[in-house]
Structures are given as structure tokens and as C-alpha cells.
């Protein structure tokens, strides 16, 4: 059963993204920190990870690097979701291994387009 893993320390953000994806028919799993997200990803292998970058503890950039270095996980696309929208932030996310950058606030249509593209689901 393919699902989208949403990682965000902010309750509102993860809840809104989850609701939007659910509304469009995607299965989602929520994680409030990167370590939990990595555990879930190793156990259940999501089809896409939506990764917040600036988080307490293990941050999104480092977590993405872990994913991309793990031979079992590196095929999972990671889309950075962040309010840090300067060029440097985007570049840093790309360097960490993010496949795409989705700025906050979340635009519903933008989110769905990306979800569809990386999961191949309609």
C-alpha cells in the first residue's frame, strides 16, 4: 500500500498537508520529527516524502542526506517543504538531495501536482 510520508514539526502544517492529500485520495502518514520519519521510511517504505527543513533535533537537510545515502531508501523521492524560500535555501535543499522544492504556504493545486508527479497516482 503506497503512501506519502509527511514530516513537519508544526501540527498545523502537517495536518493541512495531510488533509489536502487525503482529500485528493492519497494515503498519508504523519511524522512530527525527522528521526521518527526515518524509522517509518525504513519499515514501510513510502512512495514520497514531504520533508520540512527547519526542525528541532535532526533537521530536514540532514534527514534528506540520510535518506539519499541509504541504499534502500535513496530511490524514494524527497520534496522539501519550507518557508525558507531564498535562493540559498533552495540550493541547500537541492544539495542535500531533495528532488523538488515546495514553498510554504502550501498551494493546494501545486501540492497535488507534485504528489501526482512523484507517485504516478491520479
Part of the chain binding other proteins (CB under 8 A), chosen from 29-37, 42-50, 68-76, 85-93:
85-93
Angle 87-103-26 (CA atoms, 0-180°, nearest 5)?
145
| 16 binds other proteins, rule: CB under 8 A | yes
Considering only 4, 5, 7, 20, the residue that binds other proteins (CB under 8 A) is 20
Residues 6+ apart with CB under 8 A from 61: 53, 92, 93, 96
Give the integer Cα–Cα distance in Å for 20 and 18.
Answer: 6
Cα distances (Å, whole numbers) of residue 115 to 6, 86, 89, 108: 11, 23, 21, 11
Considering only 44, 57, 69, 83, the residue that binds other proteins (CB under 8 A) is 83
| 23 binds other proteins, rule: CB under 8 A | yes
| 13 binds other proteins, rule: CB under 8 A | yes
Contact residues for other proteins (CB under 8 A)?
10, 12-13, 16-17, 19-20, 23, 83-88, 104-106, 108
Amino acid at each position: 500500500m503506497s503512501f506519502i510520508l509527511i514530516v513537519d514539526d508544526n501540527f498545523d502544517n502537517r495536518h493541512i498537508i495531510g488533509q489536502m492529500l487525503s482529500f485528493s485520495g492519497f494515503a498519508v502518514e504523519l511524522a512530527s520529527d525527522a528521526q521518527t520519519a526515518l524509522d517509518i521510511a525504513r519499515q514501510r517504505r513510502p512512495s514520497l516524502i514531504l520533508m520540512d527543513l527547519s526542525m528541532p533535533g535532526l533537521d530536514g537537510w540532514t534527514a534528506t542526506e540520510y535518506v539519499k545515502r541509504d541504499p534502500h531508501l535513496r530511490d524514494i523521492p524527497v520534496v522539501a517543504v519550507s518557508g525558507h524560500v531564498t535562493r540559498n535555501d533552495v540550493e541547500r535543499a537541492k544539495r542535500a538531495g531533495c528532488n523538488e522544492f515546495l514553498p510554504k504556504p502550501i498551494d493546494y493545486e501545486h501540492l497535488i501536482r507534485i504528489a501526482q508527479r512523484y507517485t504516478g497516482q491520479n
